[in-house]
Amino acid sequence: MDTTEMDLASLGAGCFWCCEAVMSQVEGVIEVNSGYMGGHTKDPTYEQVCTGETGHAEIIQVRFDPTRISYAQILEWFWGMHDPTTLNAQGADVGTQYRSAIFYHSQSQQETALASRKAADESGRFSGPIVTEITAASHFWPAEGYHQDYYRLHKSAPYCRAIIAPKLSKLDLES
């Protein structure tokens, strides 16, 4: 029986397909699920979230082994996989559902996220100020099954070839 304790990170960084493709390759990450969080609509569908009227962000929930990767290290990947200076947009994906967000699950995660955002903002590696929201996690609504593990299952799809593969390459991950 595996008694390893897992930890959880909930992150919004634009399209969840892109985020899942990155985080699923990170050492110490056990599982990544795409879904929705931060809104007011119960059990939202992708079509509802795409309207921007549910308040939800597309996010990934990352289960990770804290003995192999820390929450702070997860956040370093988060800063690298998107542009946290663009409000409610990542590239051609525009709307509140694509906002940059960290949903914390504990006071310790909140403190780590605030410190990480401050350090990233002061690092000079971004062209403008970071606009990432940091807020308490709420209910996680898993996305429909066809969104899960999307990149691995659809590598030849135009969006995957044009957007996700170059992102993986930039981060020195397998595309």
Residues labelled as active-site residues: 15
Q: Rounded to whole angstroms, how far apart are CA atoms 20 and 41?
A: 23
Bridge pairing between strands 57-64 and 89-90: unpaired
What token pair was written down for 173? 């991950």
Q: Rounded to whole angstroms, how far apart are CA atoms 165 and 66?
A: 28
What does the CA dihedral 166, 171, 172, 174 come to, rounded to 10 degrees? Answer: -60
